[in-house]
Structure 1
Amino acid sequence: MTVNRVNNIWKIFQKKYKNMSLPVKAGFWFTICNFMQRGITMITTPIFTRVLSEEQYGLVSTFTSWQNVLILITTLSLYKAMMNLYIKYDNKEQVLSAVSGLSLILTLAWFIVALVFTNQISEWMQMSKTLVVCLFVSFIAQAGINCWQVYKRYTYEYRSLISVTILLTAVSSLLGVLCVLLVSSSAESRLVPQSIVTVIIGLVIYISIFKHNHTVYNKEIWSFALIFCVSLLPHYLSEFVLQSSDKLMINYMCGSRDVAIYSVSYSVGSLINLITGALNSSFAPYQYQQIKAKNYERLSTVANQVLLFVAVMLGCLMLFSKEVVLIFGGKKYIESATVIVPICIGIFFNYLFQLFARLQEYYERKLTVVIPSILCAVLNLILNYIFINIFGYQAAAYTTFFCYLFFCFIHYLFYKRVCKELLDGMQIYDIKFILVLSIVVILGGFAIMVVNSILWLKYSLICIVIVMAVVKRNIIKKYINKILQENK
């Protein structure tokens, strides 16, 4: 009986899967891929947090933060111009090859500069020379990987993308664990294998790109990519300030131990990125395509469903924040659970602002994208400097949440301006729904903070939610089917 039931479920799934559109299939597999990626990370992170000292784990987090900001400068984030280029050029492989070629030249030039000034950079970043070399050599490989990933996502070629992504994550994590356990419990043992694997895969991808299309130089593509990305560079840097600069400031103001504690809480909060990352992999190209086709009503409906899904996932994560911290870091990191709620709320508004910003990017309104980013980045730096000095590393979570909220509001105002000037005042998104959902996320988040401190109430609510989900399972099933149908 059980076997027959499993077979029936499998047949139903196969039938529904065959009827899915290509974007929905791609989104499904991108979600599976991100779950597998995060699953690998979840398995290995508790090993690193327990084997490495808090100072060494803090150094790993600091390395990652420097990596996030310097890759913006060394590559100019040229891959982010590719979606706009795909609207202008039919030859997608030519765009991929040309942008990859320019990215390769830029990162090689920066790598040579880093080799010349290794001592100075090492002292400035408070990292070893080995890590500095790893940092800049990984930029060369990562630039090509990023361009290739955008191409695969835009064309919904999810099979090869998933294979490479899982291979990169699994091998680098496995080698990192082995080196930390068998060689030395240091940041170098964690990061050097990761850089080596990235370089090898990046080299293979570069060869594949240039083998299929030899267009390393194209004046028009290079000019558009440079103008587009250089003009948006302040925006990308400001995004980094909002996402990662707090770790660097905590490192300089409080020390690497507090960086490690804050990083664990941020990693737990960022678990939702496995959802949002997968959604964006298919939803960002879908959004561009629906705007181009002027299917605004359909886009609005899908956007509401995506936002609601993200909010529910964040709510679950906030509710189980202490349990997830114990799994990730153990008891020595339990204090980090206190800041997961504001981090999660900030992540919601970080996702929300992208809906507004992407419309501006589509119409190449670079100034309206850059201005909010700069304002909020400066505000974040000022607030972090003031409140980290007063309240410690915990303040960074609240200042970042506030800045994302402010950031989102300014982008909404510019979004309205674009709608007024270019769409005859037509609103693409359901603003009333978004406003109500945003208020629920904020109030619900802080209510969960109270509930988390009262265990009997917390687990009673969890039981109620589970029972309601079982009772209303048919309604939930219909809602999920509706999402799949509207994404076709």
Structure 2
Amino acid sequence: MIIQNGILFLFTPVYTRILSDEQYGMFSVYQSWQQVVSIISVVAMDRCITVGFMKYENDRRGFLSSVQALMTLTVLVCAILVCLLPGPITDLIGLPLPIVLAMLVVSLMNNTLANWTWLQRYEYRYRRLAFVTVGFTAAIQIVSTAAIMLLPTDGGTVLIMSSTVVRVSLYGIIYIIVFAVGKRLFNREYWRFSLSYSLAVVPHALSQIILNSSARILIDKLCGRAEAAYYGVTYSAAMVLNIVMTSVSSAIQPWFFERIRAHDYHSIRRKTNAFLIMASGFAVGVSLFAPEILAILAPSSYHSALGTFPPTAAGVFFNCMYLCFANFESYYEKPFYFSIATATGAIVNVVVNLICIPLFGFVSAGYTTMLCYMLFAFMHYRFMRRVCRQELNDVRVFDVRFILILSVSTVLATIGVSIMYGWHPAIRYIILIAAAITAIAYRRTLVRRLRDLF
């Protein structure tokens, strides 16, 4: 997953230089709406897969096949609705009907691959997983880039449609394999569980996407498509850290569930501390090099969004914190808690952005996002405590004092780094050298923490 998203990240500077600011802005808005459509069209059924694999561990392939059939049905229903009511939908999204239909197809294909990758993780088939995801991702980016070069007149549309065609061609192979191996289209119990769990988590999944994407959509409406491109590139650069940490979290989630089942809370506490230390170090580290990262990713016109980088990186830290707490909600099948916490964060994010973007410009969106992730993590902590009281005799799983100190330190460090962007780069490099010397001095402790994590 990390390598896969790394390939996507490496192609960003290509797209920002061969597309105009407005064309890349269109692609950035498409990406934001794609995430929303992906949740609605499959009713967030990707969120029930990991729990379903635990619940039906003796028939994981049959469960996966049955869920994929149900996802196909819901996407077809959405496509029919779009064709019957094209005007209101295209006016809302701000993109033409063919691209909206492409979103639906891509949603089905993306969720097909995502669900299949969870099966590979649970069966520890990491070589196959890496080969498929990395190979497919590289092929999509290479073909899409070639298409833009050959048909440059409407680069944004060409990028979207060419990547859709290649994605369907490649992910379609996985789609067929899932049905061929699982051999189940309809199973009453699987469909009932998938729908009941997923419908409860739809507000959470949709709110999570809104939390990630609403700023770009609002900036597009309030400031312009070029500004949406500037913010989108900077936000995406900072969120590469989120991709890395989410991939690590996904890799250790099966272990996490096993430790909950075994009531091994000491191991959970130790691994969580190591995970959050890693997230904090990455957040501060990438913030130090934000000017250089942005210079590689995009031309100078995009640098006006540099100030959004540090708070977004700090927000990733709090998102990592939520992932740790949410494992308990997932394991004990409490999706309603997800929805309350995430919906609250998303509503606050939209309202605050509607107020702050017109007053302070699009850079303020980075800070509102960070504050909402903090609220998001806090609410999930409260619900995790409720689950522990209901299911585990009020056991204290996490080291709250350590987490609080690390949280304050991370916010102060990342925001403090942003003050240095106007200074000479040598100052930031000196800080990095000092951090490296400190790491060497405490290398045994760091190695022990990394061993705790992996």
The TM-score normalised by the length of structure 2 is: 0.95
**Is the 1:318–1:344 contact (alpha carbons within 8 Å) kept by the matching residues of 2?**
yes
In 1, are the aligned partners of 2:201 and 2:339 still within 8 Å (CA)?
A: yes
Q: Which amino acid aligns with 2:100?
A: V
1:28-427 correspondence to structure 2 within 5 Å: 33-34=1-2, 36-89=3-56, 90-185=58-153, 186-427=155-396
Partner of 1:27: none
Report what 2:402 is aligned to: 433
* Residues 1:478 and 1:302: Cα distance change in structure 2 (over 3 Å): closer
RMSD of aligned Cα (Å): 1.8
Q: CA deviation at 1:277?
A: 2.9
Distance 1:437 1:331, change over 3 A: same
- 1:452 paired residue among 397, 415, 421: 421
The aligned residue for residue 461 of structure 1 is: 431
Q: Return the offset for 1:320.
A: 0.3
- In structure 2, how many angstroms separate the alpha carbons of the residues matched to 1:120 and 1:201? 32
Equivalent residues of 2:274, 2:449 under 8 A apart:
no
- SS of structure 1 residue aligned to 2:152: coil
SS class of match (1:127): coil
CA contact 2:62–2:184 (8 Å) conserved in 1: yes
Comparing 343-352 with 448-457, which one deviates more in the overlay? 448-457
The one-letter code sitting in structure 1 at the alignment partner of 2:367 is: Y
Q: In 2 relative to 1, CA 38–226 (structure 1 residues): closer, same or farther, beyond 3 Å?
A: closer
SS in 2 for 1:208: helix
Equivalent-residue separation in structure 2 for 1:422 and 1:362 (angstroms)? 11
Q: Offset of 1:350 from its aligned partner?
A: 1.3
Inter-CA distance 474–356: structure 2 relative to 1 (3 Å threshold): closer
Query: C-alpha separation between the residues in 2 aligned to 1:349 and 1:469?
Result: 23
In structure 1, what residue type is equivalent to 2:119? Y
Q: Output one character per residue of 1:171-221: Cα deviation in whole Å (capped at 9) or x when no partner.
A: 111111111222115111211121112211232112111111211111011
In 1, the alpha carbon distance for the partners of 2:161 and 2:64 equals: 28
Q: Deviations over 1:430-466 (max 9, x none)?
A: 1111111111111111211223332243222122223
- One-letter amino acid of the counterpart of residue 345, structure 1: A
CA distance, structure 2, for counterparts of residue 407 and residue 479 of structure 1: 26
Rounded Cα–Cα distance in structure 2 between residues aligned with 1:101 and 1:255: 40
In 2, the alpha carbon distance for the partners of 1:69 and 1:366 equals 19
Mapped to 1, the partners of 2:96 and 2:431 lie a distance apart of: 49
Cα distance per residue 1:18-61 (max 9 Å; x no partner): xxxxxxxxxxxxxxx51x32442233211111121111101001
Distance across 1 between alignment mates of 2:408 and 2:86: 48
Distance 1:254 1:154 in 2: 45
* Amino-acid identity (%): 28
CA drift at 1:305: 0.6
Q: Name the amino acid aligned to 1:44.
A: F
Q: What amino acid is aligned across from residue 436 of structure 1 in structure 2?
A: I
Partner of 2:138, secondary structure, is helix
Q: Distance in 2 between matches of 1:300 and 1:293?
A: 14
The alignment partner of 1:244 has SS state of helix
- Going from structure 1 to structure 2, the CA distance change for 1:142 and 1:390 (only over 3 Å counts) comes to same
Q: In 2, are the aligned partners of 1:104 and 1:144 still within 8 Å (CA)?
A: no
Q: Using the TM superposition, name which of 323-332 and 197-206 deviates more.
A: 197-206
Deviation at 1:283, TM superposition (A): 1.6
Secondary structure of the residue aligned to 1:98 is: helix
Query: Please, what TM-score do these two structures have when normalized by structure 1?
Result: 0.88
**One-letter identity of the residue aligned with 2:287:** M
Gaps of 5+ in 1: 1-32
- 1:345–1:478 CA distance, 2 compared to 1 (3 A): closer
Do 2:44 and 2:201's aligned partners in 1 also have CA atoms closer than 8 Å?
Answer: no
Q: Residue type matched to 2:384 in 1?
A: Y
Q: Retained in 2: the 8 A contact 1:265–1:339?
A: yes
